[in-house]
């Protein structure tokens, strides 16, 4: 089956379930949207990462990311791979430092929270979009595009870079004699 790449286009209160939130994923090359109802804690975890906020202490998803990176494991992609009785299923596709790929079953909300933290792509399959996808009205689509443009303008934070990227940046900072930046990069690398 061919994978379809998605991106997060909205996160809001669920109109159908007032205790929950809805995250809306959109096709990168199409008009279909995939709304998924998630809990409040998961919505907070996703929002914190999307806004590049750094809590005083690591949240659970941050802890999981830090643990994976400490063992040189990166999440390469997230796949929303099934829909059964209205429940979405997802998998984390992880890569060990030696190149071995591992698939880990995950709740979709947790997978999305980690995808935002790792900056990895999110995929699904056509049959899922056919079953649960919607097409937004033109006016709503314009609002979604404006929100997307605002998100794209945000700069990357140090948490968005892999350890390898940080190492390259450290070498460049040392070459340019930018020792303050080099110290911050070194500290981040050592923390991981």
How does pLDDT run across 33-45, given as a tens digit for each residue?
Answer: 999 999 989 999 9
Per-residue pLDDT at 118:
95
pLDDT band at 190 (very low <50, low <70, confident <90, very high): confident
Give the CATH number of domain 3-155; options: 3.10.690.10, 2.60.40.1510, 3.20.20.120, 3.50.50.60: 3.10.690.10
- In the chain, the percentage of residues whose pLDDT exceeds 70 is 86
- Global pTM exceeds 0.85: no
CA distances from 143 to 25, 36, 67, 136, 168 (A): 14, 19, 37, 10, 38
CB of 43 closer than 8 Å to CB of 111: no
CA gap 91, 104 in Å, rounded: 5
User: Phi and psi for 79 in degrees, rounded to 5?
Assistant: -125, 120
Residue 100 near residue 106, CB atoms below 8 Å: no
φ/ψ of residue 90, rounded to 5:
-140, 165
* Confidence band, pLDDT 50/70/90 cuts, at residue 137: low
**Domain locations along the chain:** 3-155, 161-192
Residue-by-residue DSSP string for the chain: --EEEEEEEEEEE-SS-TTSEEEEEEESSSSEEEEEEE-HHHHHHHHHHHTT---SS--HHHHHHHHHHHTTEEEEEEEEEEEETTEEEEEEEEEETTS-EEEEEEEHHHHHHHHHHHT--EEEEHHHHHHH-EE--HHHHHHHHHHHHHHHHSPPPGGGS-HHHHHHHHHHHHHTT-HHHHHHHHHHHHH-
Among 13-27, 45-59, 151-165, top mean pLDDT goes to 45-59
Distance CA 183, CA 174 (A): 9
Q: 46 vs 55, 62, 173, CA distance in Å?
A: 13, 11, 31
């Amino acid at each position: 089956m061919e994978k379809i790449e998605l991106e997060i286009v909205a996160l809001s209160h669920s109109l159908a379930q007032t205790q929950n939130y809805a995250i809306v994923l959109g096709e990168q090359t199409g008009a279909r949207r995939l709304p998924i109802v998630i809990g409040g804690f998961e919505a907070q975890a996703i929002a914190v990462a999307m806004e590049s906020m750094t809590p005083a202490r690591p949240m659970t998803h941050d802890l999981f990311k830090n643990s994976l990176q400490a063992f040189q494991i990166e999440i390469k992609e997230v796949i929303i791979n099934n829909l059964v009785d209205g429940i979405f299923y997802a998998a984390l596709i992880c890569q060990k430092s030696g190149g071995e790929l591992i698939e880990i079953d995950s709740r979709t909300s947790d997978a999305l929270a980690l995808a935002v933290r790792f900056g990895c792509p999110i995929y699904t399959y056509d049959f899922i979009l056919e079953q649960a996808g919607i097409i937004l009205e033109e006016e709503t689509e314009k609002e979604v595009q404006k929100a997307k443009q605002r998100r794209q303008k945000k700069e990357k934070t140090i948490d968005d870079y892999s350890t390898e990227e940080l190492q390259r940046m450290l070498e460049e900072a040392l070459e340019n004699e930018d020792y303050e930046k080099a110290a911050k990069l070194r500290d981040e690398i050592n923390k991981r």
